[in-house]
Amino acid sequence: MKRTLPPLLATRAFESAARNLSFQVAADELHVTASAISHQIRSLEAYLGLALFCRDHRGVSLTPEGTRYLMSLGKALDEIASATADIRERKLSGQLRVGATSAFISRWIFPRLKRFTSSYPLIDLDLQALVGPVDFGAQRLDLAICMGPQERDGFRCWRIMSSPLFVVCNPGLRKVLKQPSDLKGQVLLHFDNGEEWSRWLEAARVEGIDVSSGPRFNDCNLLLQAAVEGQGVALTFTALADRELNSAQLIKPFELQLLPDAWYYIVCPGGAASRPKIAAFRDWILSEAQSAAQQIPARPAAE
């Protein structure tokens, strides 16, 4: 059945003016002029063939017809607003599958997660701990957080942050490690094949240390736990070691920090980048990273 509707802009102007009993307040609410509101209402009255307002020097009031029309129109607009909100919420609901290393999930996402869930209560995050390269198809991921550069054909990437790289150890080594050369004879803990230790020792101008020896870990949680238990000395990032540093389980024996070769990136298939759930999580991560960066005091860093 064909619907016969009044001028929609005029009905919106009427509803605001009638609810507020003021053309000026309606104009401010709808970001137009008071004369525009008056013009829209007169056009609606002409369309209906009756007066909706009584106008005098004291202001405006509703006619009986205007009062009845406001009640019906208000209900209709409430239903439109409710239906619109429902549709928008459905786009921001359901499962969102996110991949990241277990260390990034437990140490960076978890402390901030309540802020996301309170903003998007209908999105069910499925956090997947990644080991090895990301495979969106096999792992059925919507997006991933990786170290990179992450320039891949067919994918969209956003750089999150770069955390400085520095040495951490058990507080019991505080008196032993007074300068970088004191690392000779210490066990080096690795998250890679020794490349980062090579870079750090070169920047510290320390020679004669075998970076090929020492335990290796594929999980930063294990690396840091080994350092906490005094199993050796590790290199890590501010973004991952805050918990142990703040609780004094680990200390930074030296001031030297390096800007890392790799950065944290959000990565997702290019065709999915504009999906509301993915965009919401991406924007939240970027906002949290910017806030965290502003809270970190400036420290010396060396290339």
Give the closest residue to 20 by CA, choosing from 54, 76, 70, 93.
70
Residue 211 has pLDDT above 70, yes or no: yes
Q: What is the CATH number of domain 165-246?
A: 3.40.190.10
Copy the structure tokens of residue 180. Answer: 């970088």
Copy the structure tokens of residue 261. Answer: 């070769």
Is 165-246 the same fold as 8-91?
no
CATH topology of domain 8-91: Arc Repressor Mutant, subunit A (1.10.10)
Give the closest residue to 292 by CA, choosing from 123, 161, 124, 189.
161
Residue 258 per-residue DSSP state: B
Give pTM, 2 decimals.
0.61
Instruction: Check: CB of residue 145 under 8 Å from CB of residue 284.
Output: no
Sign, CA torsion 140/142/145/146: positive
Phi, psi for 249 (deg, rounded to 5):
-75, -25
- Indicate the domain borders of the chain: 8-91, 94-162+262-295, 165-246
Copy the structure tokens of residue 280. Answer: 């919401």
Q: Each residue of 54-111: pLDDT tens digit?
A: 988 888 999 999 999 999 888 888 888 777 766 665 677 889 999 998 989 998 999 9
Q: Each residue of 7-34: pLDDT tens digit?
A: 888 999 999 999 999 999 999 989 899 9
Q: How far apart are CA 43 and CA 157, in angstroms?
A: 51
CATH topology of domain 94-162+262-295: D-Maltodextrin-Binding Protein; domain 2 (3.40.190)
| Residue appearing with tokens 């090929």 | 212
